[in-house]
Structure 1
Amino acid sequence: MADAERSEGTATTTATDPETAAFDYDVAIVGGGPTGCSAGVFTGRYGLDTVVFDRGRSSLQRCAYLENYLGFPGGVDVETFYGLIHDHVEAAGCDLVPALVEAVEPAGGDGTETADAAGPGFEVTTQDGETVTARRVVAAARYGGDFLEPLDDDEMFVTYEYDGETRTKFDRDYADIEGRTAIDGLYVAAPVSEVNVQAIMSAGQGARVGRSVITDHRLERGYPEALAHHWDWIRPESELAGEETARDDWRERFDSRVPDDCDLAEERLRELREADVERQREMYISEEAVEARAERGRERLADHLGVAADSGPAADSASDSE
C-alpha cells in the first residue's frame, strides 16, 4: 500500500506527497499475465506502489506449452512460466492479488477528485466486493475490457455485427502505442491491435506501458520532459571512473538538459537533480554484488524447477571430470 512519496528511484520515503497519501496504490494493474506482470516489474522496481490483479481469462493459460519465449530453449510449461512471472512481480515489490476485477471507475464514483492535488484517480472493485483506489490504472487483460465501462467513454468501445446481432467490444486501437488514453491516468497494455498475439510481444508492450507510467509520474513530480524518461539497468561499478567525478558529471548532464523556459523553483530543481543522481548511482554495483545477485537468481530459478541451484551443464561437467 502507498504510505508516502518515494524519493525518485529510491526506497527513501517522506510523508509529504498528497498524490501517494490520497490513494491505496500508485498503480493498479488489471491482468496478471505476461503483459501486466511486465508492466508491474518496471513500476514496482522504480518504487511505485503497485498492485496486480490476476484472475481473469488468459489466452496463455489456454496454451498447451510455451516454446517461443526467449530464454527457454526447450520451452517451458505454462504453470512454471506463470509461477516465474508472478514470483518476479512480487520480488519487484508489487502486491499480487488473485481476484477478478469487476469495475474500474473514477475515484469517488462520481468523477470527483480524491484529494485536491492528487489528480482524479480510480476505484478498482473486485468481484468479491473489495475496493482499492489508485492514481493510475493499467488495463492488461487481453480478453474483455468490460470492467472499464463505468468510466463512460463512448470512444472506448465499438459495435459490430455477429450472427445477426449488434454487439459491443473494446476498441483495440483506443490507446496509443505507449499505452496512454484520453482519460488521465488510464493506460491500456492489452488488448492492443496486433500486439498481444504472442506472449513475448505482450511482455514487451507491458514494459513499454510500465515505462510510460513512470514517465508520467516523473512529469507530475516536476521533471522537465527531457528528463522524465526512465531506464532500468544494472552496470558494473568498475565502469565508474570515480564516484564524485561521476556524480558531478551526472549533475552537469542533468543541468544541460533542463530547458531554458523551465519554471521550476531552483530548490525543487536541485532536489530532482540530486534524486536523479542518486538513482543513477544505484545502477552501479560491485563485483561482489553481481556475484551475489547471480547466485540469488539461480536459486530462485532452481526453486521453480525443483532442482538444486548448482545443478546444470557446468555442474554436470565438473561431476563427469571427477
Structure 2
Amino acid sequence: MAGTNGRADGAFDYDVAVVGGGPAGCSAGVFTAREGLETVVFDRGRSSLKRCAHLENYLGFPAGIDVETLYDLFHAHAETAGCALVSDMVESVDRTDESGFALDLQEGEPVTARRVVAATRYDGTYLQGLDGEAMIETNEHHGEEHERFARDYADRDGSTPVDGLYVASPTPGADRQAILAAARGARAGRRVVADARRDDGWWEGVAEGVDWVRREAELDDEWTDRERWVTWFDERHAADAPVDPDSERFQRVRDATVEQARSAYIDPEEIEARAERGHEALAAHLDAESAVDGVGERALLEAMDDDAIRSYVEADETPDGDGL
C-alpha cells in the first residue's frame, strides 16, 4: 500500500521504532510499514509468548499452533510488510533535540526514531526518562510494595501524554492473551499512521485510514471513474475541512486518499496471484510430512494449489514415496 512517509528530512534513522517483536509489536509494525513508514522492530528473543507450551485460542488455527511456528510467522509477516527486524534489547528511550527519540541498545549502536511504540511486557523502566513518575504505579504483593509501569498510562488507541510515544504493551489484561495483544498492537499502529498523516498535512476527518483490499467486482460502473471518487471526497470532506478546498494542501490530501481508495480494489487475476503467494508463504513454515499425514494427500491438494505444495514438498518426500 502506497502511503505517507513521515520522516522529517532524514533527521531520524527510522520513522517508527517498535520495542518488542511479539504479537503486539509485529502487529503494530505491519500497519506502519505498509503505510510506507520506515519501521524497525527490536526483539530481544524473550517474548512472554514463548512461555506458552501450545497456543490453542489464536483464531485461524483450529487445532492450535506451536509457539515457534506462530512466532516465525509474526516475524515473516513483519518483514514482508517492510519492517527491519533487529535482535537486540532496548535499554532506554530518551528525547532528542529534534522532537524524536534516541534508543540505547544493549549491544548495538544507539538509533533515533520519530516515533516509538512500546510493545513488550518487561517492566517499562526503559521509558521512565520520558515522563518520570507519571508512568509508574505502586502495587502491593505479598505485603511488599512494588513499582511497575502504569498499565493505564496509554489511551485505548495506544497514544500517551508524550508526543510520539505509543504503548501497545504493557496494558490491562491484553498482555496475557496473544490475540488481544495483536489487536492492541494494530490499534497503536493505526494511531501512528494517522498521526504521521497529520504531520504531512492531513486532518482528523481523513487521517484515519483503512488498510484492506476488496474485489473489483464490488465497484458499480460509476465508481470505475476517478472523478466519481473526487466528487465523493469533496461531498464528504470539503465543507468541514480545516483548509480551503481550493488549496494545494486539500487537493494533495484528496489525491492521496482517492488513489489509496481506488488501489484497494483488485481484479480476479490479482486475487488469485495473492492467494497463491499467501499459500506459498504459509507452506514455507509447515512441516510437509505432518501436513500430509494430518489431512491426507487428496485433501491437502484440494485445500492448496499445486505450486504451493511443490514449494515445500519434493515429489519423493511424501510418506508413501509415490510423489504428489
- Alignment TM class, shorter chain as reference: 0.7 to 0.9
For residues 186-205 of structure 1, the aligned pairs below 5 Å read 186-205=165-184
CA gap of 1:240–1:319, structure 2 versus 1, over 3 A, is closer
Match of 1:4 in 2: none
Match of 1:229 in 2: 208
Match of 1:102 in 2: 91
What code does the residue aligned with 2:41 have? Answer: V
| 1:197-241 Cα shifts (integer Å, max 9, x gaps) | 210011111111111111111112111211110101111122233
Structure 1 residue 243, shift from structure 2 partner: 8.0
CA gap of 1:269–1:69, structure 2 versus 1, over 3 A, is same
Structure 1 residue 250, shift from structure 2 partner: 2.0
For residues 247-262 of structure 1, the aligned pairs below 5 Å read 247-256=226-235, 257-260=237-240, 262=242
2:255 to 249, 263, 274: 274
What code does the residue aligned with 1:83 have? Answer: D
**Conserved in 1, the CA contact under 8 Å of 2:54 and 2:66?**
yes
TM-score when normalising by structure 2 = 0.85
**Take 1:198 and 1:249, find their aligned partners in 2: how far apart are those partners?**
44
For residues 1-322 of structure 1, the aligned pairs below 5 Å read 10=2, 19-55=8-44, 57-107=46-96, 112-113=97-98, 120-162=99-141, 165-242=144-221, 245-256=224-235, 257-260=237-240, 262-263=242-243, 266-307=247-288, 316-317=298-299
CA gap of 1:98–1:243, structure 2 versus 1, over 3 A, is farther
Bigger CA drift: 200-209 or 143-152?
143-152
**Conserved in 1, the CA contact under 8 Å of 2:4 and 2:197?**
no
What code does the residue aligned with 2:174 have? Answer: V
Which ranges of structure 2 fall in alignment gaps of 5 or more residues?
A: 303-323
**Take 1:93 and 1:237, find their aligned partners in 2: how far apart are those partners?**
26
| 1:55-114 Cα shifts (integer Å, max 9, x gaps) | 15422101111011000001110100100010000000000111111111102xxxx22x
**Conserved in 2, the CA contact under 8 Å of 1:58 and 1:143?**
no
| 1:232-276 Cα shifts (integer Å, max 9, x gaps) | 111112223358744222212222213446235711211111111
Structure having the higher Rg: 2
Bigger CA drift: 240-249 or 70-79?
240-249
What code does the residue aligned with 2:36 have? Answer: G
Q: Percent identity?
A: 52
TM-score when normalising by structure 1 = 0.85
| 1:112-144 Cα shifts (integer Å, max 9, x gaps) | 22xxxxxx1101121014211111100000222
**Conserved in 2, the CA contact under 8 Å of 1:56 and 1:141?**
no
**Take 1:19 and 1:44, find their aligned partners in 2: how far apart are those partners?**
16
Which ranges of structure 1 fall in alignment gaps of 5 or more residues?
A: 1-8, 114-119
CA gap of 1:210–1:99, structure 2 versus 1, over 3 A, is same
Structure 1 residue 165, shift from structure 2 partner: 4.8
**Conserved in 2, the CA contact under 8 Å of 1:20 and 1:26?**
no
What code does the residue aligned with 1:144 have? Answer: D
Q: Specify the SS of the correspondent of 2:10.
A: helix
Please give the root-mean-square deviation of Cα atoms over the aligned residues, in Å: 2.6
CA gap of 1:186–1:284, structure 2 versus 1, over 3 A, is same
**Take 1:39 and 1:84, find their aligned partners in 2: how far apart are those partners?**
15
**Conserved in 1, the CA contact under 8 Å of 2:117 and 2:166?**
yes
